[in-house]
Amino acid sequence: MDGRGTGEKDAGALAQAAALRRRLRVIATTDLHSALLPFDYFAAQPAPGIGLARAAGLATRLAAAAGLDGGLALLVDNGDFLQGAPLGDFVGLDRGLAADEAHPMIAAMNAAGYAAATLGNHDFDYGLDFLLAALAGARFPVVSANAVLAPGASPRADRTLVPPWTILERRLHDAAGVERPLRIGLIGLLPPQTAVWNAKHLDGRLTVRDMVETAAARVPELREAGAEVVIALAHTGIGPGRAVPGMENAAIPLARVPGIDAIVAGHSHLLFPSAGFAGRAGVSGRRGTIFGRPVAMAGAWGAHLGVLDLDLAHGPGGWRVAGGRGAVRAVGRRGPGGGQQGAAPASPAVLAAAEAWHAETLAYLGRAVGRTLRPISSHFALVAPDPGMALIAAAQTAHVAARLRGTAHAGLPVLAAVAPFKAGGRGGPGFYTDIPAGPLTMRDVADLYLYPNHIRALRLTGAEVLDWLERGAAQFARVAPGAQDAPLIDPAFPSHNFDVMHGMTYAIDLSAPARHGPEGELLDPAASRITDARLGGRPLDPRAEVIVATNDYRAAGGGRFLGAGAARVVLDGAETNRAVLAAWLAAQGTVDPRAAEVWRFRPMPGTTVLFDSAPAAARHLPALGRGDITVAGPGPGGFLRFRLAL
Ligand code: MN
Ligand code: MG
């Protein structure tokens, strides 16, 4: 009885306190990567748990719920919306936009009622002119404070590509029922690495300032301009706690910039709040806050929404944020039959905006390119030479050798650096290439070469090639001789930095420490895992000169590979690596993809390691012809675990 009475009194007090507050709910997408519809263009089948159409449908519900108790909701996007899924590449690389034609993602965001957006690094992938043409159709402000056309003496004096910030004017009833203006400031930020990753488009045209420095300078400006609430649309992940100049994942230091009330984070394609960030100083997964500031980070592809619920209080100085929390909501859920279904119906307005573009994209992807005599799967690309990567390498090598004919670089050996792009990891157990034998279409080519990179060739020494391989070999954990079921792969290492050098052979010694860390940082210049490196059957001479066929991301310094840099570029083609692959496949007509003899682990008798791949990998194991790899049992998160005897 007593307990019940006290509970009622507490509930009454809480309700009264709540009535004095008003909620501002910020609903955020991030890293949509042109996932417009709940559709997987690679598998050519519905994917109910992803896409802006479904995300916008759920956002409508979440906004309505906020409105029920007198609150206000805003829908915002945090960047990386233009590039990624085949629809984005089709528009950005092949079809282009007619004059005054709205980009399908922008048209859909208009239809969904976005209040504002910022830019991500990948929004520059098709060049500045394309980006500006796409943004011209936006009926909402797009802000970015550190994408700079002309740097000034301080961030506030910079001339930026788009406005650094905006103030949205809204109205909200205070606790006494009086309607008051509410001025919501939004500032945009993106990683400075963008200028390196997209050097092919941005060199000489755009620089990107440090995010923390920019925010510290611009947030006071935003406050001076009248913003009562300041939200950072920060296309950046949750990384180190201490600010270092030029950091890529700066959400924690940004949370400590005075004047920022809350943060929409992203870029890393991870979720916050989530267990993965537990235990870091200042980070509360329970509250969804970092140093008390609400933060939400909604993964990628529109599979989740970030939700910032900010409690606003009105006083003599206007509105201020009195508290709040961050959360994420999944756009898909398990249906009665176990399959995925949408958590809310798709937005009809977005579906209507997408319809014609979807049909055009399907027609483009269905175009025939060639034939393959065998299935092509990437399920073992992290642990063994991979047939799909061998095709890409053959195409790059042939293209570069042909282009260098008659130049001062002709006659040098041409190697091809290729990394597995679809290799599970954060992409989950469905994130693999899995193409059956038979006709190859543009869909398969896009699946094999996922990113809109451009072909590059570098002239390097043998020593630089060896260091390049050391950098990629940082993917692997160190394994003690005789260890049983040791983990093989460092989960912090992105597979797109595991470059395999085709055209030579080498072994990787897992018992040795890695020379580089997962981000490319030099840990120990004397450490060496690459052994028995051979070119043309002979030991690779460190002074030899070779050509390495690669992409613009790597050539500009992406992944921090030694020897990469503008000075070494001997070929910078206008063709994408994907177009090079498509042309080569068409010229071949029919291919018989087999794993090239490129690399192997140095034998460690009596030692076993474990790695994860998709359950579908078991189907491809016999064709791999590797008796040293066996199924070990179920892995985490829907993966299947394999054992490799070294
Ligand atoms: Mn992204
Ligand atoms: Mg990004």
DSSP string, 154-213: SGGGPEESS-SEEEEEEEEE-TTS-EEEEEEEEEEE--TTHHHHTHHHHTTT-EE--HHH
| Nearest residue to 542 via CA among 563, 569, 571 | 563
Q: Domains of the chain: which residue ranges?
A: 18-361, 369-601
pLDDT at 221: 98
**Nearest ligand atom owner, CA of 249:** 2
> What sign does the CA torsion over 507, 512, 514, 515 have?
negative
CA 36 to ligand 1 center in whole angstroms: 15
Q: pTM here?
A: 0.86
Ligand nearest to the CA of 120: 2
148 CA → ligand 2 middle, Å: 17
- The encoded tokens of residue 116 equal 């504002």
Q: Are 308 and 296 in contact (CB under 8 A)?
A: yes
For residue 429, the CA-to-ligand 2 centroid distance in Å is 21
Cα Rg, the chain, nearest whole Å: 26
170 forms bridges with which residues in the sheet?
182
Confidence category of residue 21, pLDDT binned at 50, 70, 90: confident
**Separation of alpha carbons 59 and 47, rounded Å:** 18
Give the list of residues 6+ apart from residue 389 with CB closer than 8 angstroms, or none: 378, 381, 418, 419, 420, 500, 502
Provide the 3-class DSSP secondary structure of residue 400: helix
H helix runs in 277-420, sequence order: 348-365, 387-404
Distance 553 CA to ligand 1 centre (A): 15
Gap from CA of 318 to ligand 2 centroid (Å): 35
Residue whose structure tokens are 């052979």: 505
Question: CA 559, CA 197: separation in Å to the nearest integer?
Answer: 9
Nearest ligand, measured from the Cα of 30:
1
Distance CA 520, CA 132 (A): 33
Measured in Å, residue 373 CA sits from the centre of ligand 2 at 37
252 CA distance to ligand 2 middle (Å):
17
What 8-state DSSP symbol labels residue 444? H
Which ligand has the nearest atom to the CA of 269?
1
Written as one letter, the residue type at 485 is D
Ligand 1: distance of its center to the CA of 130 in Å? Answer: 18
Q: What is the DSSP code (8-state) at residue 512?
A: S
- Token pair 């098709």 is found at 126
Span from the CA of 83 to the centroid of ligand 1 (angstroms):
9
Are the folds of 18-361 and 369-601 the same? no
Among the bound ligands, name the one nearest to the CA of residue 299.
Answer: 1
**Tokens (6 digits) for 605:** 């008798």
Ligand 1 center to 122 CA (angstroms): 7
Q: How far is the centre of ligand 1, averaged over its atoms, from the C-alpha of 117 (Å)?
A: 14
- 1: pLDDT strictly greater than 80: no
Distance 327 CA to ligand 2 centre (A): 20
CA of 112 to the centre of ligand 2 (A): 22
pLDDT digits 0-9 by tens, 521-563: 999 999 999 999 999 999 999 999 999 999 999 998 899 888 7
Ligand 1 centroid to residue 29 C-alpha, Å: 11
At the second CATH level, the architecture of 18-361 is 4-Layer Sandwich (3.60)
Ligand approaching nearest to the C-alpha of 35: 1
Q: Which ligand is nearest to the CA of 81?
A: 1
Distance 233 CA to ligand 2 centre (A): 13
Residue 102 pLDDT more than 50? Answer: yes
Ligand 1 centroid vs 201 CA: distance in angstroms? 18
123 CA → ligand 2 middle, Å:
8
A 10 A CB-CB count for 413 gives 17
Neighbours of ion ligand 2 (CB under 5 A): 80, 120-121, 267
Q: Where are the beta strands (DSSP E) in 386-503?
A: 414-418, 434-435, 438-441, 454-461, 486-487, 500-502
C-alpha of residue 269 to centroid of ligand 2, in Å = 8
Query: 492, 493, 503, 509: which is closest to 457 by C-alpha?
Result: 503
pLDDT digits (tens, 9 = 90+) for 561-573: 887 777 889 998 8
How do residues 277-307 score in pLDDT, each as one tens digit? Answer: 988 999 999 999 999 999 999 999 999 999 9
Tell me the pLDDT of the chain averaged across its residues: 93
Q: Tell me which of 337-346, 410-419, 449-458 is least confident.
A: 337-346
- Continuous segment of H or E residues that includes residue 272: strand 271-272
Read off the pLDDT of each residue in 206-226 and give the average, rounded to a whole number.
98
493: left (phi > 0), else alpha (psi -120 to 50), else beta?
beta
Nearest Cα neighbor of 38 from 362, 363, 303, 305 is: 303
Distances (CA, A) of 502 to 16, 417, 418, 465, 505: 69, 6, 8, 11, 8
Question: What percentage of the chain carries pLDDT values higher than 90?
Answer: 84
Give the distance (Å) from ligand 1 centre to CA of residue 342.
Answer: 22
Would you give the DSSP letter of residue 84? S
d(CA 612, CA 636): 8
- Please state, in angstroms and rounded to a whole number, the distance separating the CA atoms of residues 558 and 552: 8
Q: Find the 236 Cα to ligand 1 centroid distance in Å.
A: 9
Give 131 Cα–ligand 1 centroid separation in angstroms: 16
- Which amino acid is located at 579 in the chain? A
CATH dotted code for 369-601: 3.90.780.10
> Tokens representing 342?
């949408």
Enter the tokens of residue 181.
């203006």
Question: What are the residue ranges of helices labelled H in 474-562?
Answer: 552-555
> What would the pLDDT profile of 107-166 be if each residue is shown by its tens digit?
999 999 999 999 999 999 999 999 999 999 999 999 999 999 999 999 999 999 999 999
User: How many whole angstroms from 121 Cα to the centroid of ligand 2?
Assistant: 5
Give just the sign of the alpha carbon dihedral 61, 63, 66, 68: negative
Task: Give residue 145 CA to ligand 2 midpoint distance, Å.
Answer: 16
| Direct distance between the N- and C-terminal alpha carbons of the chain, in angstroms, rounded to an integer | 67
How many angstroms does the Cα of residue 535 sit away from the middle of ligand 1? 37
| Among candidate residues 58, 56, 198, 74, the one with its CA nearest the CA of residue 126 | 198
Helices 348-365 and 52-68, packing angle to 10 deg: 170
How confident is the model at residue 3, as a pLDDT?
A: 39
Q: How far is CA 255 from the centre of its chain?
A: 22
CA dist 540 and 538 (Å) reads 6
Query: What is the tens place of the pLDDT at every residue in 339-397?
Result: 778 889 999 999 999 999 999 999 999 999 999 999 999 999 999 999 999 999 999 99
User: pLDDT for 168-180, tens place per residue?
Assistant: 999 999 888 899 9
Is the separation of the CB atoms in 290 and 263 below 8 Å? yes
Burial (CB < 10 A; 0-12, 13-18, 19+), residue 337, is: exposed
